[in-house]
Structure 1
Amino acid sequence: MRRISILGSTGSIGTQALEVIAAHPDRFRVAALAAAGSEERLCEQARRFRPALACLTGRQSRPAELPAGCRWAGGEAALAEAAALEEADDVLVAVTGVRAALPAVLTALAAGKRVLLASKEALVAGGELVTRAARRAGQPLLPVDSEHSAIFQCLRAADGNAARRLILTASGGPFRTWAPEKIERAGIEQALRHPNWSMGRKITVDSATMLNKALEVIEARWLFDMAPEQIDVLIHPQSIIHSMVEFADGAVLAQLGVPDMRLPILYAMAFPQRLAGGAPPPNLAELGALTFEKPDAARFPGLRLAYDALAAGGTAGAALNAANEEAVAAFLAGKIPFGRIWRTVRDTMDRVDVRAADTVEAVWAADEQARRMAAAALA
C-alpha cells in the first residue's frame, strides 16, 4: 500500500490521480490533499478519500465542510507540510508555478519521499537544484508527463550510457496545419481546442505555441542527463507514440498508448510494478497509420527557445518559464494576440541577467526579474 500526498489535487492531473487511486483502493491511499483554491472541491475530495491532512494555500482558517479527523493546514506554509508529511510515502507534485512547485519538490526529497513529478516548472527553472537533491536523497524522480514517462520506460530496456538520442513527440496542437500568419491572429477558443488531450487552460495554450514542448526539452535534459543536441522533437499527430529513445546500436524503442494521462500517473504510482486498469490499449489496426513530421519553425518559433535557454545555462530556464507564464496569462485575459506570446518570451530572455541557478534565491530572483520585464512589455 503506497500512501500518496497529492499537491494540486483540484487541478487536471490531481483529479485524474484521484481517479487512479479510487480504481486501486488495495494499492494506494491518499495521505494528503493540497490545493491553492477550489475550497469546495477540496472538501469534497477530503470527504471521499479521508486524507490525514488537507491544505489550502489560499486560506488560513479551517473550512467547516472538512470531515472530522482530517488535520488542516492553511496559508503559504501548508504545501511544505503536505510535502513532508510523515504518513506519506510518495508525493505527487502537480501544482502550478515555479514558486509553488520547486520548494515542494525540494521539501519532499529532503524528507525522503519519492517524488512523482508533474510540475515541469521545477526542473525547467531549478533543474540543477532538483537533480542534486534527488541524488542526495537517493530517490528517483518519477516523471508524470506522458513524454518523459515514455522515455523513462524505454531507458529501462538498456544499461548505462546506451541511449544516443531522445525523441520527444508532439501532437502539433490545434495549429499544426495553419499558415503562420493565421496562427498569429488565433483566438483564445481556437488555442484551447486541443485535438487529442484534455488539459488545463495554460498547458493547452502552451501546446498550441509548442512552448510546452520547449519546456519539456529542458525537463528532459535534467531528468535524463542528456546534452541538448541529443534531444529532438518530432510531430506525431495521432499522439499514440508518446516518445522514443534511439540507442547506440541504431535501435529505436517507443512507448505507445492512448492519449490518457491516467497511464503515466498509474505507471509512476505503481513503479517499478505495472498494474492493470490504466487505460485500454490503442487499436493499431483501427488507427491504420502513425505519421510523423518535423516541426515547422515558421509555425512554432517558440520551440527554439528551449535550446537557447540550455545554451545560456544558469537561470535562463527560469526566465523562459516566468515570461511564458506572464504572456499566456495576458493572452487568456484577452490583452495580447496569440503571436505575441513567444515574442514576449524571446525578448525577455534577451534582456534578463543570466546567473548560476545553484540556489533557490537565485531562481527566485531570475523568476521575479523576468516576470517584471515581461509584465512591463505586456502593459
Structure 2
Amino acid sequence: MVSPGGRRRVTVLGATGSVGRATLDLIERHPDLFEVEALVAGNDAASLAELAARTGARRAVIADPAQGPRLSSILEGSGVAASAGLSAMLDAASLPVDWTMAAISGAAGLAPTIAAVRTGGAVAFATKECLVCAGAAFMAEVGRAGATLLPVDSEHNALLQALGGQPVADVEKMTITASGGPFRQWPADRIAAARPEDALKHPTWSMGAKITIDSATLMNKGLELIEALHLFGVEAGRLDVVVHPQSVVHGLVTFRDGAVTAGLAAPDMRVPIAYALGHPHRIDAPTPRLDLVQLGSLTFEAPDPDRFPALRLAREAMEAGGAAATILNAANEVAVALFLDGRIGFMDIPRIVADALDQASRRGLSSAPATIDEAIALDGEARAIASACLLESRPRSQ
C-alpha cells in the first residue's frame, strides 16, 4: 500500500474542488500512510495556500498566473514553494510521485492528467473528459506509460469493484445509475423554465457547478457511458443507465450467466476516493455506513429521453464514434457556461450541443483524435462552433 521508503507520495490536481478536498480529508486522517508532494488549483489562491500549509505540501501551484503573486505572498516563510501558470501546473503534474489525484474539471484537466499518466504511477481520476475527449489516445498513453488508472467517479469505481477482476468478455452488460437530478419529477414545461439556481439544487451530491448542471440535464450520465466504453473496453450496446433516486447502488455488472454484482455505498465521494488511495488494499474512511433496514427500499426507473434529450445525444455520439464525443463534450461545456451566466435557457443546452454536432458533421469533422494534441485542437474548434451556434440561434428559452 505504501512505497518501500515509507509513506506514499501524492499530488492532488484540483485541490480546492470538492473531490480534491475530500481526498485531502482522507490523507490528513492517515498521516502515517501519505505525504503531500504538490497541490494544484485553478484560481483560489487563499484556499490553496491554506490547504498546502495545513497538509505540509512541498509545493502549491495556481493555474491562473494573475493569482501567482497573492499565492506567493500568503505562503511566504511557510516552507511551501509557490508557483503559477500552465507550465508550473504541468511541472507539478509530472512529478515522480506514487499516486496522483486528477480532479481538474472539464477539458482543462486533459493536459495535466496526461502529464501525470506519463510518470507511470497510479492516477486516480475524476476528470471524465480525458476519456470523453480523447478516449483511444488517452488509453494508449496509459498503456505506453504502464500507469495504473483508478476511476473515482462513484459509478465507474463501483463497476470496477463489481467486476471483481473478471474478464470483460464474461460481461453481458454494465449499468450505471443516475439520481435523476433536481428535475427528475418535473414536467417538461417547468424544466424548460428552470433557472441556474434551480438546476444547482442537487438532491444527493454536493459538487461543482458544471457537473451539477450536467446532472440536471443527465448529460453527465451520457459522458459516463462514453468514459466506461474506453475504460473497460466494452461496446456501446453493453452499456446502460438506470435512474436510482436513492444513489445507493452506483453500478451493476451483469455476467453472461445471468449473475449480477453491484457496488453499493452511501453517496459520499470519500468511498471511491478511499478505494483509489489505498489500492490494492483498503484504508479506513469516516463515511456513513449503509443501513438497508433503515433505507427500507431502493427504487429504479428508466430515464426519460424526451425530457432529458442530452442523454440521447450522448448515446448517439458514443455510437457514432470518431470525433463526435469530443465535439459533444466541448459544446456542452460552452452551453453550460452560457446557462450559468444566464444567457440561455436550460433546454438550450442540449439544443446548442445538437446544433454543434450537426455543424461539425457538415464541416467534415469526423475523425477521432489520434493524439492528445489533436484532441485539444478539436476541442477548441468545437467550442468555436458551439459559440457560433449561439449567435445563430433563436432567442433565449422562456
| TM-score where L is the length of structure 2 | 0.92
Distance in 2 (CA, whole Å) between partners of 1:249 and 1:298 is 33
Deviations 1:18-45 (A, max 9, x none): 1111112122221100011100011101
Alignment of 1:246 onto 2:254: yes
Q: What pairs up with 1:80-99 in 2 under 5 angstroms?
A: 80-86=90-96, 88-98=97-107
Match of 2:243 in 1: 235
Alignment of 1:365 onto 2:377: yes
The letter of the residue matching 1:5 is T
Distance in 2 (CA, whole Å) between partners of 1:25 and 1:163 is 39
Q: What pairs up with 1:268-279 in 2 under 5 angstroms?
A: 268-279=276-287
* Distance change >3 Å, CA 160–CA 319, structure 1 → 2: closer
Say whether the 8 Å CA contact 2:155–2:251 is kept in structure 1: yes
Q: What pairs up with 1:282-301 in 2 under 5 angstroms?
A: 282-301=290-309
Superposition deviation, residue 311 in structure 1 = 2.5
| TM-score where L is the length of structure 1 | 0.96
Distance in 1 (CA, whole Å) between partners of 2:56 and 2:323 is 40
Match of 1:79 in 2: 89
Distance in 1 (CA, whole Å) between partners of 2:93 and 2:339 is 32
Alignment of 1:58 onto 2:64: yes
The letter of the residue matching 1:106 is I
Match of 2:41 in 1: 35
Match of 2:264 in 1: 256
Name the SS for the 2:190 alignment partner.
helix
Say whether the 8 Å CA contact 1:80–1:104 is kept in structure 2: yes
Superposition deviation, residue 305 in structure 1 = 1.6
The letter of the residue matching 1:209 is T
Superposition deviation, residue 360 in structure 1 = 2.2
Name the SS for the 1:166 alignment partner.
strand
Unaligned runs of 5+ in 2: 1-6, 392-398
Superposition deviation, residue 81 in structure 1 = 0.9
Alignment of 1:46 onto 2:46: no
Deviations 1:98-138 (A, max 9, x none): 1x322112211212221101111111001111111111122
The letter of the residue matching 1:95 is I
Name the SS for the 1:216 alignment partner.
helix
Distance in 1 (CA, whole Å) between partners of 2:148 and 2:11 is 16
Alignment of 1:351 onto 2:359: yes
Q: Percent identity?
A: 45
Superposition deviation, residue 260 in structure 1 = 0.5
Deviations 1:162-206 (A, max 9, x none): 211110100001111111122111111111111111111111110
Name the SS for the 1:77 alignment partner.
helix
Match of 2:18 in 1: 12
* Distance change >3 Å, CA 160–CA 309, structure 1 → 2: closer
Distance in 1 (CA, whole Å) between partners of 2:307 and 2:282 is 39
The letter of the residue matching 1:83 is A
Q: What pairs up with 1:220-231 in 2 under 5 angstroms?
A: 220-231=228-239
Match of 1:113 in 2: 121
Say whether the 8 Å CA contact 1:9–1:94 is kept in structure 2: yes
Superposition deviation, residue 160 in structure 1 = 5.2
Match of 2:386 in 1: 374
Unaligned runs of 5+ in 1: none
Superposition deviation, residue 229 in structure 1 = 0.6
Superposition deviation, residue 157 in structure 1 = 5.0
Instruction: Kindly tell me the number of residue pairs found equivalent between the two proteins.
Output: 377
Alignment of 1:307 onto 2:315: yes
My pick for the range that moved more, 345-354 or 215-224, is: 345-354
The letter of the residue matching 1:296 is D
Q: What pairs up with 1:173-188 in 2 under 5 angstroms?
A: 173-188=181-196
Say whether the 8 Å CA contact 1:312–1:354 is kept in structure 2: no
Say whether the 8 Å CA contact 1:355–1:362 is kept in structure 2: no
Say whether the 8 Å CA contact 2:53–2:78 is kept in structure 1: no
**Alignment RMSD (CA, Å):** 1.3
Q: What pairs up with 1:179-198 in 2 under 5 angstroms?
A: 179-198=187-206
